[in-house]
Structure 1
């Protein structure tokens, strides 16, 4: 029996799956942040924890894995791979591939040979592959390199909006009461000084407040989410143009909890508008399964296997990693 390992290492969580050649999931593991750019040793610890848990549940050793695919946030440049290759090699898996997490999200979200993927979880990224197999990544390097958004930025935007409203620079917002309740403060003044005095950071859970306030009609929250959608739409258009995909039929796969779990169309609406304006044959698809399944498929295909349709369908039933008892904030 051949076994395949797929790993999805993101900015807030890491998932690992072991599947056999028949498409049965035999082992699962979960841990925290797997992005080495946020701390290499911590990411390594979390990657190893998730993989070791999945191997243990499967009852196999690393040496018994036929092929593995690690889809990792932060696997962007050769400088990143110089860190990641020796790290992953320590697991003792004979044949493994390391790709950016965009690629496993794209593989999990579409059966077409080409497509575009937009990720908005704790951070943002965009990438695509055209019919000729050419790929292009747009973004993924945070604000100073042209990005905007993702859970980390959106949480800060929610906090800033409350501060600006409190000072009178902006109109009052429903985010104020929601954020105070979330963080356990009685007043904005108390929160403001406590954050300054103790160097506190805004938790990713604050992103949920943007969606909640938007559904209640809060224009401040809606404007923040709208900007996120517009920025992702710009990234999609850049990928489509660079790869010459304007007249192709393909899926734009939306990945990450801000895009797949957030309520309403405050983020997805501007994305659809941007894509429709440049690629009329493209379809917007929300990823309905965990990207880690795409890593398992990629590992199988790299090993020369092609899963039959019924076995692919079996893997698609892993639609929510909380099936193994792991849950988290809107930040993935």
Structure 2
């Protein structure tokens, strides 16, 4: 039987789906982290070998019958590092078309159920990605927490801490965020935020503090509301840039995904208001399938007959 493989190579887990050429899912499995930046090559080889050959053993399939493989992994397009995964797959004996693409690409394809549209991801980090009917693509953002990630949970938490420090030295008005952050982090003075940030390299821990901002905004804190609405404007600017480049004055489907854009109501409402006012040819769509299925769709599009 001929088949294709779709893989979502994530930071915490790797998700694989094998499908027939008529899109029927034959196998689904999960493995360890497949991120090329946080794992050694030998660990990637083991992760992919275990996933792939466990699946092929169960299905009693050969690598020779594989017509296409698509792998989505964070940052591979921007850093031209996809060759690492491609080489691993070739060394396993796969001689089909191999597509290594960005995780945003397969999230778009899976979420919308096709290979055209725009996806905005806003969780711990943020990125916007689009592809049109001509196959033209564009990334906006996704430069990491030090240089980018505007509108993300990390960015929101950092902006809030900046405003707390500005409030402490009378550059900004009072905000309840000061007491909320100090209580959560068990510190006495806002100035101690500096030490906390410097000694907390894990960006997910800082990103989690955005929940404090969300709650304060819902309770009416003006500065918290400003932080969230500014974040919404940053996210809108990303979508606007991708839309104008790929779909200018045409209808386009938009997928919104990630914990921040999905769960923060004030940010989401502001974002949707901007979209309705300025980009009314964009339609927000509900998520249909997961990124691994999106990788299957990419693989099917690129398959060798």
Normalization by structure 1: what TM-score?
0.71
CA distances 1:282-301 after superposition (whole Å, capped 9, x unpaired)? 20124354323211332234
Task: State whether residues 29 and 54 of structure 1, in contact with CA within 8 Å, keep that contact through their aligned partners in structure 2.
Answer: no
In structure 2, how many angstroms separate the alpha carbons of the residues matched to 1:50 and 1:209? 39
1:166-177 equivalent positions in 2, closer than 5 A: 166-177=168-179
In structure 1, how many angstroms separate the alpha carbons of the residues matched to 2:81 and 2:162? 32
Structure 1 residue 29, shift from structure 2 partner: 1.6
In structure 1, how many angstroms separate the alpha carbons of the residues matched to 2:41 and 2:268? 30
| Alignment correspondent of 2:133 | 131
Task: State whether residues 16 and 51 of structure 1, in contact with CA within 8 Å, keep that contact through their aligned partners in structure 2.
Answer: no
Change (3 A) 1:150 1:177: same
| Alignment correspondent of 2:80 | 79
Change (3 A) 1:160 1:46: farther
1:112-261 equivalent positions in 2, closer than 5 A: 114-142=116-144, 148-183=150-185, 185-188=186-189, 191-192=192-193, 194-195=195-196, 198=199, 203=205, 204-246=207-249, 248-260=250-262
| Alignment correspondent of 1:98 | 100
Task: State whether residues 253 and 287 of structure 1, in contact with CA within 8 Å, keep that contact through their aligned partners in structure 2.
Answer: yes
In structure 2, how many angstroms separate the alpha carbons of the residues matched to 1:230 and 1:188? 31
> Secondary structure at 2:81's aligned position in 1?
helix
Change (3 A) 1:5 1:111: closer
Unaligned runs of at least 5 residues, structure 1: 306-332
| Alignment correspondent of 1:318 | none
| Alignment correspondent of 1:41 | 39
| Alignment correspondent of 1:302 | 302
In structure 1, how many angstroms separate the alpha carbons of the residues matched to 2:166 and 2:61? 52
Structure 1 residue 16, shift from structure 2 partner: 0.8
CA distances 1:199-242 after superposition (whole Å, capped 9, x unpaired)? 65561322332323222222222222212211121121111211
> Secondary structure at 1:17's aligned position in 2?
strand
Among residues 84, 109, 112, which one is paired with 1:110 in the alignment? Answer: 112
Larger radius of gyration between Structure 1 and Structure 2: 2
Of structures 1 and 2, the one with the larger relative CO (CA 8 A, separation 6+) is 2
Unaligned runs of at least 5 residues, structure 2: none
Change (3 A) 1:132 1:172: same
> Secondary structure at 1:76's aligned position in 2?
helix
> Secondary structure at 2:76's aligned position in 1?
coil
> Secondary structure at 1:271's aligned position in 2?
helix
1:252-331 equivalent positions in 2, closer than 5 A: 252-260=254-262, 262-264=263-265, 266-287=266-287, 289-303=289-303
1:49-64 equivalent positions in 2, closer than 5 A: 49=47, 52=50, 56=54, 60=58, 64=63
Task: State whether residues 34 and 47 of structure 2, in contact with CA within 8 Å, keep that contact through their aligned partners in structure 1.
Answer: no
Change (3 A) 1:92 1:104: same
Structure 1 residue 73, shift from structure 2 partner: 1.5
In structure 2, how many angstroms separate the alpha carbons of the residues matched to 1:256 and 1:149? 11
